[in-house]
Structure 1
Amino acid sequence: MSTEVLVIGGGYAGVMAANRLTLRADVTVTLINPRPDFVERIRLHQLVGGSHDAVVPYRKVLAERVRLVVGTVTGIDSAGRGVTLTTGDTLGYDYLVYAVGSGSADPDVPGAAEFAHPIATLEDARRLRPVVDAVPTTAPVTVVGAGPAGIETAAELAEEGRAVTLVCGGVLGPYLHPRGRLSVARRLARLGVTVLEGPGARVTAVTRDAVRLDDGRELPSEVTVWTAGFGVPDLAARSGLSTDALGRLRTDETLTSVDDERIVAAGDSAAPSDLPYRMGCQSAVQLGPQAAQTVLSRIAGERPATVDVGFAGQCISLGRRVGIFQFARKDDTAISLYLGGFLGARLKEIVCRSTVWQLGYEARKPGVRTWWAKDAKRREKLTAEKLTEAPVTAEQAA
């Protein structure tokens, strides 16, 4: 008898999980995703800048055995082991992989929801591109947010010759080592980007044609791009499952929901032991296969392994010709070493292409290869105290 596994979400984590699940011939895998194509979220700033469409056909990254259902899940019935789609259709499951990803956080700044343009999803980026095209090149553009999305978008638009101001609300590139941060600041300056950081550089209001800061300044802005913060869909919370403060599904260290051992989470929407990993494709492509392995272990009657994720750093494009790769320890702590300039740009492009290649490789040869240095010892140290205080897990409650 075949085991039915549903994967909700066709991003980096969901695709990796679906592909890994095909290791067993007796598992039927269905991937539910709102779009018919895979979205390269790490290229959305290029979509806004007009240099890439940021989509890849699923046939290039998804195993042939995986059934793709284009639709949106509106509810999870954990007791009945089923999900409901916006169409009213229902799908049953034996196991569910929750990989709904992340999007823009709802901004709590007055006027931001009405007049600022988010960039966290394909639809956001597609709506923003014609808005940018419609204003003169000399029109002031404000990008709010000092993380990779903000930096990359500001650089992409400035390279087109646009007048861009990057409002950091704090420090430029919080993840970066001071040496890497200085390199990024110099590149942005060469592109003509005005960087506002430190005290007073926090947005307090957005209007149709301006951005107000908490030090009283008002910046003219014909287009305001909002990249500050990420949020996750509220599907888990609406379905009565336990979530953290941001809405991520709470799991144990095997990525299993604390409420139900038939539900496993991966990617940006997972909060293992209330110590979630940094949101991004680097953690997602590792969490996806591990979530699948948890499901496969349970089908085989084996004890699932605990999560083990390691990091290499962070790469940021600074236009099409320059970039930076900020090296880090396996625990995701930036170090002084970085690679910049043309080589940094080439490495960023290699990372983008290799990420899609990894998805395709997993589709063709599930479980054959691993790509990342692990960091199990630090994770064990971080979770030791928290796990002793954690609520009862699904396995313990069963």
Structure 2
Amino acid sequence: MAGNTHVVVVGGGYAGVMAANRLTRRDDVAVTLINPRPDFVHRVRLHQLVGGTDDAIVAYQDVLAERVRLMVDTVSRIDAAERSVTTSAGGTLGYDYLIYAVGSGSAEPDVPGAAEFAYPMVTLEAARRLRAVLDNVPDSAQVTVVGAGPTGIETAAELAEQGRQVTLVCGGVLGPYLHARGRRSVAKRLAALGVTVVDGPDAKVTAVTRDAVRLADGRELPSEVTIWTVGFGVPDLGARSGLSTDAVGRLLTDETLTSVDDARILAAGDSAAPSGLPLRMSCLNATPLGARAADTVLSRLAGEEPEKLHQSTYAQCVSLGRGGGIYQFANRSDVAVWLHIDDRLGARIKEKVCTGIPKHLAGEAHKPGSFKLHRMPGGVAKRQKLLRANRTAASAAAEAQAAAGRSA
């Protein structure tokens, strides 16, 4: 293979494509991107696929650098000692560096009946299956969306805008990330679309049946189609390969995104847990993390000290059908603040974000090194403060546990 250094990127989502493109800055680096699908999944549009307003895919030729070799396959194991990966097709591929960007999905539901009767939508295949189910039921069929994070809210709004009868079960509060003012704005828009919002401490789902959803307070909501958007999980490839991960499967790294186990393995996107303090799942974080992981590799190849992670811009952008949306601003601790933009302007901003993401990736493909978001000034001091607080809390918990053990 051409090039003196071979980098394998596992996963072709936002982080993986950004990392692969950026690595082509050096002519002596060959890059292989391994992904199970031949097309790029534009994940922030999966709710539109379910609603029938977008197919949520982009051709890799439109976002991936020509020098990146695309291998359509699935990695079944990483052998860190041999610096190689084994694929489901039975092949073995060596590497000098590996970037772990396998992304995230929904956790296996532990609610009785959810796995059998509720439809997830976190992957392209799951969203397509759900779309087919909706195509085969009348518009009057009662649809229940479980989970009131961004995916649940967007899906409920998308379907209600088309005239579907939708109930959104929050399992707590509507939009947990949102500021109270932003939450009121979202609730107003959902009400205008006809969505029934079920929130509060008793709005937790305790069981799902073929035609109903049962809540903690004993209520039973009729549901011909139940959509499950609850939970977060990461593919177990890292753990199966003997690498250190956190409780949900994210690869444990230092602040340069380098694995705590192996200096030749890095992680980016939703599957990275730098210093045990991962960033919130979002494309806003995934894309810069991909650039940061690539920069760490490039710095090492140049004999330079890699920069540490920092993130200076936080927000959450949620569509509320095609005619509404909200852009929720946040501080550098990623806590929502009072400022938000909603209604039609919020919808336009969300659409601009959705169309802009492939443009960022394509821009890096055509001019590697042009992406700058991960290098914006600020954010370092705040990140270090959060890390110190995390270490202090962990130390206090350990001391309390030790004291309890001594007194037992």
Give your verdict on TM over 0.5.
Answer: yes
Match of 1:248 among 240, 250, 260: 250
User: Is the Cα contact below 8 Å between 1:287 and 1:309 reproduced in 2?
Assistant: no
Q: Which residue identity lines up with residue 243 of structure 2 in the other structure?
A: L
Structure 2 length-normalised TM: 0.94
Q: Which residue identity lines up with residue 315 of structure 1 in the other structure?
A: C
Q: Cα distance, 1:312 vs. partner?
A: 3.4
Cα separation, 1, equivalents of 2:213 and 2:308: 46
User: Is the Cα contact below 8 Å between 1:273 and 1:387 reproduced in 2?
Assistant: no
Percent identity over the alignment is 68
- How has the CA–CA distance of structure 1 residues 366 and 384 changed in structure 2, closer, same or farther, with 3 Å as cutoff? same
Give runs of aligned pairs for residues 229-378 of structure 1, distance below 5 A.
Answer: 229-371=231-373, 373=376, 374-378=378-382
Q: Which residue identity lines up with residue 211 of structure 1 in the other structure?
A: V
Match in the other structure for 1:396: none
Cα separation, 2, equivalents of 1:247 and 1:369: 28
Match in the other structure for 1:395: none
Match in the other structure for 1:139: 141
**Is structure 2 residue 60 aligned with structure 1 residue 58?**
yes
Q: Cα distance, 1:311 vs. partner?
A: 2.6
Match in the other structure for 2:118: 116
Cα separation, 2, equivalents of 1:337 and 1:204: 35
Match in the other structure for 2:218: 216
Match in the other structure for 2:20: 18
Q: Cα distance, 1:128 vs. partner?
A: 0.3
Cα separation, 2, equivalents of 1:151 and 1:351: 17
Q: Cα distance, 1:388 vs. partner?
A: 9.3
Q: Cα distance, 1:360 vs. partner?
A: 0.5
Match in the other structure for 1:38: 40
Cα deviations across residues 112-161 of structure 1 (Å, max 9, x unaligned)?
01110001111110010010111111111000001000000000010111
Match of 1:107 among 103, 106, 109: 109
Match in the other structure for 1:394: none
Give runs of aligned pairs for residues 198-209 of structure 1, distance below 5 A.
Answer: 198-209=200-211
Gaps in structure 1 of 5+ consecutive residues: 391-398
Q: Cα distance, 1:51 vs. partner?
A: 0.2
User: Is the Cα contact below 8 Å between 2:332 and 2:382 reproduced in 1?
Assistant: no
Match of 1:226 among 222, 225, 228: 228
Cα separation, 1, equivalents of 2:169 and 2:141: 16
Q: Cα distance, 1:368 vs. partner?
A: 2.3
Cα separation, 2, equivalents of 1:66 and 1:384: 39
Q: Root-mean-square deviation (CA), in Å?
A: 1.5
Q: Cα distance, 1:387 vs. partner?
A: 6.5
Cα separation, 2, equivalents of 1:73 and 1:369: 28
Match in the other structure for 1:27: 29
Q: Cα distance, 1:384 vs. partner?
A: 3.4
Gaps in structure 2 of 5+ consecutive residues: 395-408
User: Counterpart of 2:111 in 1: which secondary structure?
Assistant: coil
Cα separation, 1, equivalents of 2:281 and 2:81: 29
**Is structure 2 residue 388 aligned with structure 1 residue 384?**
yes
Q: Cα distance, 1:309 vs. partner?
A: 1.6
Q: Cα distance, 1:193 vs. partner?
A: 0.5
**Is structure 2 residue 52 aligned with structure 1 residue 70?**
no
User: Is the Cα contact below 8 Å between 1:310 and 1:331 reproduced in 2?
Assistant: no
User: Is the Cα contact below 8 Å between 1:17 and 1:291 reproduced in 2?
Assistant: yes
User: Is the Cα contact below 8 Å between 2:232 and 2:248 reproduced in 1?
Assistant: no
Cα deviations across residues 69-104 of structure 1 (Å, max 9, x unaligned)?
000000000000000010101110000000000011
Q: How many residues in Structure 1 have an aligned counterpart in Structure 2?
A: 391
Q: Which runs of 4+ in 1 moved over 2 A?
A: 371-374, 384-390
User: Is the Cα contact below 8 Å between 2:211 and 2:223 reproduced in 1?
Assistant: yes
Q: Which residue identity lines up with residue 166 of structure 2 in the other structure?
A: V
Q: Which residue identity lines up with residue 156 of structure 2 in the other structure?
A: A
Q: Cα distance, 1:329 vs. partner?
A: 1.8
Structure 1 length-normalised TM: 0.96
Q: Cα distance, 1:39 vs. partner?
A: 0.6
